[in-house]
Structure formats: structure tokens, C-alpha cells
């Protein structure tokens, strides 16, 4: 199993429910926190040697964990991976840095480009992998390069021409992002802050409180609004077991203390089938399912 030098970092059968917003799910066969590149590289190399999959746990806002055991090494990045540095009009953020904190720091220094993403939860790494965004902008548009480590423990710097971003997707699913460099535009800090605050107010008004055991079920489909699709099939407030759609926030699901991941999956599948039959639109899940 894991070598003696790494055993101090590894916890077995670690509960994961408290680490995601929905507060449901099982445990990780192996769990570790890496605070620097040396430890992360060693853990990835060892997991590869043992043929154990590696999963990265970020902010947990879009994560659904099934009951039972996640048969993987679940890694949470801390320490140096939460840092943020500014050099002229470039911002370099660790993958575990909070997206909201990075946006705020960019605004304070008069760097524009990320303020449109205000109100989106999660970490920089998760946002880049999923290419988080709003209607007319996404985070991938501002990425200059990505620093990453592959499953064998090899370090890579991926320049802009090696990166592929599309609607809520990227080509970074198979690497562990360690840091991201953004090229931003210099503006008056007060103007950037004003934009950030305006976007934050709009975003917060359109989503439930982050502490309410909620998640967004589907990626907003291009060319259609999820609220219209739900209304067309009469499923804006439908429920399954302990999971229920939130009527006043279309597309969001809320779970109670008795809910299971299977309730959420059943609800998601039922809605997706109804929408596809009615409109021909195939909804894509916003949730990452372990």
C-alpha cells in the first residue's frame, strides 16, 4: 500500500458528506491534503504506482457523492495552492484559491476581466476545468497558461495554444491543476469594484443561500432558459424522496437530512427525460458525480 513516507498524509475511509454543499454521500477509500508541490507530486506518483484513481476535492459546490465508498485517492489542495500573486496585469492563482477571493483581489488592484464571474462559488481550479461563466463571458477567455501535474506525477505548463475551452468545458479533465495565470486589463479599481458589486447583486438574487444544502442540477442550455424548459414540462417544483426543486430558483435542487444521492439522481434523470421528450433538448448535468 502507500509507502511509509506518505502514510502520515493518508486517511482511510474518510467521510466526505460534510465537505460538499449537499451534505450527502459516502466516504473516500483514501483521503489526503497536499500543501505543497513536493507532497502532491509524491501522492500522485504513488497513486499511479498502486493503480488508484485520483480525484480532486475543491469547494464542493457542484459535487454529488454516492453512498458507500469512493474508490480513489481524494485529494484536497491547501497551503501554497491557495495563494494569489499579481504581476503588472497578470494574476497568478493557486488552483485551490477561492474564486470569489481572487475576483475581489483583482478588483482591488484594478485588474478587469473576472468581475463578471462574481457570485459563482468554488475554487479557481474547478472553475477553469468547468470553464465557469455567464452569458457573455467565461473564465477560459482570460487564461494565459495553466500549471498542472499529470496522473504519473509529471509537471506541465500548458500555454494558451494548448488549452481548449468551450461552453462549460475544457480539455483539463485528466490533469491536476496546480495554478492558473490570467491576463487581465488594467482599469480604475473603483470601476472594477463597481462592476463586481453589480454582478454579485444580480447573481445572488438569482440563486439560493449557499448554506442551504442546495445545488444546481443542470448547465444552462445555450439558446434556451432552464426556467422555460421546466415550466413547459410542469417540473419547476417537482420532488423525489428527500430532494426537491426550488420553485423560486428554477434549476436548483435542495435536499433535506434524509436525502440520498440516489434521490438527486432520480430527480435529475426524470426532469432530463421529460425535457428531452418535450423539446428535444438534452440537458447536461451541472453536478459532478462520484
Which amino acids are annotated catalytic? Answer: 168
Which residue, 104, 106, 130, is CA-closest to 119? 104
CA distance 268 to 272: 6
As beta bridge partners, residue 77 has 34
CA distances from 250 to 42, 67, 146, 182, 280 (A): 43, 26, 34, 32, 19
CA distances from 185 to 110, 111, 158, 173 (A): 8, 5, 21, 28
Is the CB of residue 178 less than 8 Å from the CB of residue 149?
A: yes
Q: Could you identify the residue written with the cell 475554487?
A: 123
CA distances from 229 to 8, 75, 117, 202 (A): 50, 37, 24, 22
181 sits in which H/E element: strand 176-183
Q: Could you identify the residue written with the cell 513536493?
A: 38
Amino acid at each position: 500500500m502507500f509507502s511509509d513516507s506518505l502514510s502520515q498524509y493518508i486517511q482511510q475511509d474518510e467521510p466526505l458528506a460534510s465537505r460538499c454543499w449537499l451534505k450527502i454521500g459516502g466516504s473516500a477509500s483514501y483521503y489526503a491534503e497536499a500543501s505543497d508541490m513536493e507532497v502532491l507530486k509524491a501522492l500522485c506518483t504513488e497513486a499511479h504506482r498502486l493503480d488508484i484513481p485520483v480525484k480532486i476535492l475543491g469547494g464542493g459546490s457542484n459535487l454529488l457523492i454516492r453512498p458507500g465508498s469512493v474508490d480513489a485517492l481524494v485529494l484536497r489542495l491547501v497551503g501554497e495552492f491557495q495563494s494569489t500573486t499579481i504581476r503588472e496585469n497578470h494574476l497568478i492563482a493557486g488552483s485551490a484559491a477561492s474564486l470569489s477571493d481572487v475576483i475581489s483581489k483583482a478588483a482591488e488592484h484594478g485588474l478587469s476581466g473576472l468581475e463578471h464571474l462574481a457570485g459563482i462559488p468554488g475554487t479557481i481550479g474547478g472553475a477553469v476545468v468547468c470553464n465557469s461563466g455567464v452569458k457573455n463571458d467565461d473564465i477560459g477567455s482570460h487564461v494565459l497558461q495553466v500549471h498542472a501535474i499529470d496522473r504519473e506525477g509529471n509537471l506541465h505548463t500548458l500555454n494558451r495554444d494548448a488549452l481548449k475551452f468551450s461552453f462549460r468545458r475544457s480539455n483539463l479533465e485528466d490533469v491536476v491543476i496546480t495554478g492558473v495565470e490570467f491576463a487581465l486589463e488594467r482599469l480604475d479599481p473603483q470601476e472594477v469594484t463597481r462592476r463586481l458589486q453589480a454582478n454579485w447583486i444580480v447573481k445572488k438574487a438569482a440563486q439560493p443561500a449557499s448554506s442551504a444544502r442546495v445545488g444546481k442540477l443542470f448547465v444552462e442550455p445555450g439558446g434556451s432558459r432552464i426556467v422555460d424548459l421546466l415550466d413547459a414540462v410542469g417540473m419547476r417544483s417537482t420532488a423525489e424522496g428527500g430532494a426537491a426543486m426550488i420553485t423560486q430558483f428554477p434549476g436548483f435542487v435542495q435536499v433535506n437530512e434524509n436525502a440520498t444521492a440516489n434521490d438527486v439522481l432520480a430527480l435529475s434523470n426524470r426532469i432530463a427525460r421529460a425535457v428531452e421528450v418535450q423539446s428535444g433538448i438534452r440537458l447536461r448535468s451541472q453536478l459532478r458525480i462520484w
